[in-house]
Amino acid sequence: MTKKKLFLFPGAHKTATSLLQAAMESHRTALEAQGMVIARRQTFYRSGMRDFLLRKEAPETIDMQVWNAMAEDVFGPSWQDRDVVISIENLFGEATPNVYAGAGRCIDTLKHIFPDYDFQVVFYVRRQDSFLESVFLQNVHRGFDEDVDSFLDPFAKAKPIDWLKILKPVVERVGENSVKIVPFETIKAGPKAYILDFFRHFTDLPKKQLLSTYGDLGDTNVSLSELGLRVARAGFVELPKMKERRVLATALQREFGVDKYPRFKIPAPLRERIVEQHRDVNKRLVASGVIPDELKSYYLFEEEAVPKPSK
């Protein structure tokens, strides 16, 4: 009998995960008709499943009654003996200086819960300077008020963001052939191609059907522009409550996003510090063969901008 599969899309943050999740949600009915269940994002957080999967206790101590109640809430009542898809960008932890430190714990917990499943882990990466730049803006979207120097300082004092090292405990637990790294920058070939590549990991629904809802997805998470960032931080001074700040940031994303104004960029001296911190780890990343040829020079920091895809 064919083994069931558990498909994990655990990040990283700021790799168009909102777009991919929206695309998947738009086809939930068709995907479930194929015999799979898909984690409901908001329910996933509300149920406490994320913290449950990152628990520090031994997997053997898991209360399966607690898990089954959460699973029925997150996946639906008929989740058992079906393929499972979980696309949650902080499944392994947060985009903090100790980035995604819970990867091994999460996989250990899931392997105890799904002992007879084949695991397929797809992890999207982004060059570190661009990643940190986008995480900084996301923090502003959430209402945090700090300058970019203060935000970057803990990362400068921490170990480099080494994508291969972050995924090492995952590879050790599920096998190298069950882990795939996808550079976010491949979205330069177009969001439709990016979405289709995502779907091809777990479904054979026709291309035409998968793209039929594309026009309804909208701008899922437009970043603040440099102007929007300045206005937001000025407004935060007058808004002590985080909820009020988030309302302001959301309005500014809509009116002063990068779709209308120039994007914010980390100042050159700070960016150079990030480059030097990550040059060696990216050499190993490129040498591993997971980065496409057209992106190798970009990941080696030999090009500042993502190169246009070859036709």
Within-domain flag for 79: yes
Torsion of CA 204, 208, 212, 214, to 10 degrees: 80
Write out the residue range of the structural domain in which residue 100 sits. Answer: 5-133+161-219
- Are 42 and 48 in contact by the 8 Å Cβ rule? The answer is no
Q: How many angstroms separate the CA atoms of 176 and 193, rounded?
A: 25
DSSP 184: G
Within-domain flag for 185: yes
Within-domain flag for 260: no
Report which of 232, 101, 219 is spatially closest to residue 167, judged by C-alpha positions.
Answer: 101
pLDDT value at residue 220:
62
Q: How many angstroms separate the CA atoms of 248 and 67, rounded?
A: 37
- Are 53 and 98 in contact by the 8 Å Cβ rule? The answer is no
Domain count, the chain: 1
DSSP 96: S
pLDDT value at residue 1:
60
pLDDT less than 70: residues of the chain: 1, 218-220, 311
3-state secondary structure of 120: strand
Within-domain flag for 112: yes
Within-domain flag for 292: no
pLDDT value at residue 219:
66
| Chain center to CA of 104 | 17
- Calculate the alpha carbon distances from 9 to 84, 165, 179, 310 in Å: 11, 17, 10, 27
Within-domain flag for 142: no
Within-domain flag for 31: yes
- Are 143 and 242 in contact by the 8 Å Cβ rule? The answer is yes
pLDDT value at residue 300:
98
Within-domain flag for 77: yes
Tokens of 48: 């406490």
Q: How many angstroms separate the CA atoms of 114 and 3, rounded?
A: 11
